[in-house]
Amino acid sequence: MDRLDRETSGLMVFALTTEAQKHLQHQFRKHSIRRRYVAVVRGFVEEQTIESRLETGRTHQIRIHLSEAGHPLCGDKVYWRPLLKPGEPDTSGATRLALAAVELGFEHPATGQAMSFETPLPPDLTKFVQRPLNE
């Protein structure tokens, strides 16, 4: 099943039975689970489709794709520059990876009921986003 990076905050789903786990895994494979992330990146990202050599569903996918596009996440200590290219060090002041899973929707494995959850940004990321830009 998909999982969040250690430093990513936000919503997660846990299966309590093997049957439920298989049902959720199937939804992830079909890409029928609705996920929305908020990321704070360096620079300004125009709306676009990012194509990559990587397969979908890979661990760190959002981080890698944005870094390859020249917009690494603030606070990212691994993918802070495009692959095999020079990059500028992160001077954003982020104390951790600026990424949060803020929405999660899926079909309940036992009942089939549509489940939808949302959460606000955690306080540390809210404070980071609202800080004056000259800090």
Known catalytic residues are 5
37, amino acid identity: Y
Side-chain-side CA neighbours of residue 10 (13 Å)? 25
Taking Cα atoms as reference points, which of 13, 5, 89 lies closest to residue 39? 5
Task: Let me know: does 135 contact 46? Beta carbons within 8 Å.
Answer: no
